[in-house]
Amino acid sequence: MTAPRLKLGSTRFASDGIFRSAFESSPDCVKILDLEGVVQFINRNGAALLGAEDIAVLLGAPWVSLWEPVERPMVAAALAAAAAGDKQRFTGAARIFTGELRYFDNVLSPLADNTGATSALLVTSRDVTETEAARLAAESRERLAAQQTSVLRAAAEMAKLASWGADFRRGVLIRSEESNVLLRGGLMEAPIQRGFGMYEPDVQRQITALIERVRTHGEQIKHEAPFIRHDGTRGWVRLRGEPVYEGEECVGLTGTAMDISEQKAAEETLRRAERRLACALGLAGMHVYELDFEARTLIHEGEGELVFETQPTFDDLWPDLEVIVHPEDRARASAEWAAALADGTPFRSEFRVSRSDDRELWIFCVAEILVDAAGEPTRLIAALVDITERKRGEIETLQAIARMREHEDRQKLLLDELNHRVKNTLASVQSVAVQSLRDARDLRGARDLFIERLMALSSTHNLLVKRGWEGATLHELAEMTLRPYGHPYIVHGPDLKLDPNFAVSLGMALHELATNALKHGAWQAPGGNVEVVVEPGTAEATIVWREVGGPPVAQPTRRGFGSRLLERGVARELGGQVSLEFDPAGVVCAIRAPLSERLRVIVPDAT
């Protein structure tokens, strides 16, 4: 089906008023490309479909660059064929300027000049995102339906059903002999509450709840569950149940049970048979039309709303079957029909039905022609099903895909954050271990010192976990670190919010200062006290540790882990300055750091 090429006397047709008016009135994306595939013209509706605020960004752009990378070879091939004079049509995915992935049905028509040579390409693109996504959803539903059909076929080959029931007035569960054969033993009657011992506790609760809904709401039971036979072997059973009424009262239920253990094991094999059962799936519950070529009759089987406005006759459909197809889908459906005939395979297609009331009705069609020994057609059997709602299900499918991608992104973010925190924690433990061994004079002392520091690090981590790793406040960090020592201390000034990394460093620093106060400083004397004072400024905050009332302080002969942690680690972590003075009246440590998102004042000083 090659369409005649449009002949134009001028290659500047995009500026001609009659063409511009026609193109601008189209709801589709209409473009003029040169033979290199570069956009020379695009209508306003087309730019809007592509999410472009300014048509200028599209003019002069290679059309192939607007497509997803995986689609570009196909697009390039279509351009080359169209430039050679062949009309082309394809459907592909493109990410528009808003970032959204959309699907477009494209028709490429060669435009000829006065000499008959192709001078440009007319491209019409229609947004078919909804139909494309719905098609994918439809395929998924068809696979599920095929599996269910396979299950029914397998069930038909099994042993006869076993019956069971319940008498709500007597409160008993009743089983037939076939049920006991299925269970390989058991009582014919048992109280309802104790009649499901062949199931695991959670399954017992499920079935008990189903029976209660039968009794109170008249619902049916449709359930599959694993069970344990009386000989200890395991299997699967399918239960069906219907309420039994006397007047308005539900007095019991009657049902069937089927052992589906082999079916469960055979599901993988049944899934591989889906393609062979595709025709049977199409025939189940559809409108079936049979054309008898010898009798020239049309037989219709099926219930529900008709696909066509009126019931067609043989002469309405043959030989021009294309009459039932919407004009816009006819070329594609005809090509698919011709390909099926050439390959000797059943025809399968989705298309819109041609209707005079303009109602959009999509159908899925499976058809096959039966021939005699001479190769002449004798019958045509076609099954049609309305898939309009399935086509409209694209929005739900796209939303599900978006939610799935959002979940994957969130999971990756959490894993990256966990990896970062584990690395930081291991680095902190390594540093504590190295510094503890470096400062200790014997292994036992090193071990005790290392354990104390690990406990301090663990306490800070516990506090951060309670706060969801969103940071901690200085007041709660000081309380957590200093309270266990059991000596006087006081925290003055406004509270500060610390980010997790700074909280870990400051927690270790407070531990080292407290340990020093206990062994050598203010807490050595009965009246000794420790003050932690916060002095906020406009651009920075100062945290001051001051010891008072203790014994005279002597200058240390060497720099230990605590001093190095304060003067190097804490200062580096905050990007600030730390001063440590061993004043005879008491140790004074001042930590100055710029205010930022990592360190900010959250509670003004109440004093």
Q: What percent of the chain is modeled with pLDDT above 70? A: 81
What pLDDT score does 323 carry? Answer: 79
Which of 57, 172, 64 is closest to 123 using CA atoms?
Answer: 64
Residue 503's pLDDT band (boundaries 50, 70, 90)?
A: confident
Is residue 506 located within the same domain as residue 580?
yes
Q: Are 550 and 524 in contact (CB under 8 A)?
A: yes
Is residue 165 located within the same domain as residue 238?
yes
Is residue 575 located within the same domain as residue 505?
yes
Domain harbouring 215, CATH code: 3.30.450.20
Is residue 307 located within the same domain as residue 213?
no
What pLDDT score does 110 carry? Answer: 94
The Cα 192–Cα 174 span in angstroms is: 9
Question: With 80 as the cut, is the pLDDT of residue 159 above it?
Answer: no
What pLDDT score does 152 carry? Answer: 47
What pLDDT score does 83 carry? Answer: 92
The Cα 243–Cα 414 span in angstroms is: 50
Q: CA-CA-CA-CA torsion for 343, 344, 350, 353, nearest 10 degrees?
A: 120
Residue 106's pLDDT band (boundaries 50, 70, 90)?
A: very high
Residue 124's pLDDT band (boundaries 50, 70, 90)?
A: very high
Identify the sign of the CA torsion 351, 354, 359, 364. Answer: negative
536: preceding bond cis by omega (within 30 degrees)? no
Which of 136, 65, 125 is closest to 95 using CA atoms?
Answer: 65
Question: With 60 as the cut, is the pLDDT of residue 306 above it?
Answer: yes
Question: With 60 as the cut, is the pLDDT of residue 12 above it?
Answer: no
Question: With 70 as the cut, is the pLDDT of residue 547 above it?
Answer: yes
Is residue 246 located within the same domain as residue 331?
no
Range with the poorest average pLDDT among 268-272, 322-326, 428-432: 428-432
Q: Is residue 384 part of a domain?
A: yes
* Average pLDDT of every residue of the chain: 80
The Cα 84–Cα 339 span in angstroms is: 24
Residue 315's pLDDT band (boundaries 50, 70, 90)?
A: confident
Boundary-marking domain end, from 391, 414, 436: 391
For the stretch 236-252, pLDDT in tens is 988 899 999 998 899 99
Structural tokens at position 597: 């998102």
Q: What is the mean pLDDT of residues 494-520?
A: 85
Total domains, the chain: 4
Question: With 90 as the cut, is the pLDDT of residue 446 above it?
Answer: no
Which one of 151-160, 182-191, 305-314 scores highest in mean pLDDT? 182-191
For the stretch 447-496, pLDDT in tens is 655 666 777 677 777 888 887 878 888 898 888 888 888 899 999 889 98
Question: With 70 as the cut, is the pLDDT of residue 276 above it?
Answer: no
Q: Are 388 and 394 in contact (CB under 8 A)?
A: no
What pLDDT score does 401 carry? Answer: 86
Is residue 191 located within the same domain as residue 119?
no
What pLDDT score does 11 carry? Answer: 43
Q: Is residue 426 part of a domain?
A: no
Residue 438's pLDDT band (boundaries 50, 70, 90)?
A: low
DSSP string spanning 443-511?
A: HHHHHHHHHHHHHHHHHHHHHHHHTTTS-EEHHHHHHHHHGGG-S-EEEES-EEEE-HHHHHHHHHHHH
Which of 430, 456, 463 is closest to 518 using CA atoms?
Answer: 456
Is residue 475 located within the same domain as residue 591?
yes
- Which domain does 376 fall in, by range? 285-391
Domain harbouring 514, CATH code: 3.30.565.10
Which one of 220-229, 318-327, 423-432 scores highest in mean pLDDT? 220-229
Is residue 176 located within the same domain as residue 247?
yes
Q: Is residue 599 part of a domain?
A: yes
Is residue 473 located within the same domain as residue 591?
yes
Residue 274's pLDDT band (boundaries 50, 70, 90)?
A: very low
Q: Are 510 and 475 in contact (CB under 8 A)?
A: no
Question: With 70 as the cut, is the pLDDT of residue 13 above it?
Answer: no
Position with higher pLDDT, 438 vs 457 = 457
Residue 275's pLDDT band (boundaries 50, 70, 90)?
A: very low
What residue has token string 């990394």?
A: 501
Provide the 3-class DSSP secondary structure of residue 229: coil
What pLDDT score does 6 carry? Answer: 45
Residue 424's pLDDT band (boundaries 50, 70, 90)?
A: low
Is residue 344 located within the same domain as residue 211?
no
Boundary-marking domain end, from 111, 127, 143: 127
- Side chain identity, residue 138: A
Distances (CA, A) of 574 to 211, 491, 492, 493, 598: 65, 21, 21, 20, 8
Residue 147's pLDDT band (boundaries 50, 70, 90)?
A: confident
Q: What is the mean pLDDT of residues 89-105?
A: 92
What residue has token string 């006991």?
A: 180
Range with the poorest average pLDDT among 343-352, 449-458, 576-585: 449-458
Q: Are 583 and 483 in contact (CB under 8 A)?
A: no
Q: Is residue 451 part of a domain?
A: no
Q: What is the mean pLDDT of residues 8-12?
A: 42
pTM of the model: 0.34
- Side chain identity, residue 150: S
Q: Is residue 561 part of a domain?
A: yes
Q: Is residue 406 part of a domain?
A: no
What pLDDT score does 4 carry? Answer: 42
Is residue 169 located within the same domain as residue 229?
yes
Question: With 70 as the cut, is the pLDDT of residue 541 above it?
Answer: yes
> In 330-421, where do the E strands start and end?
347-352, 362-371, 377-386
What pLDDT score does 153 carry? Answer: 45
CA 202 to chain centre: 29
Boundary-marking domain end, from 355, 372, 391: 391
Q: Is residue 421 part of a domain?
A: no
Is residue 476 located within the same domain as residue 599?
yes
What residue has token string 């996504």?
A: 133
Residue 331's pLDDT band (boundaries 50, 70, 90)?
A: confident
Q: Is residue 363 part of a domain?
A: yes
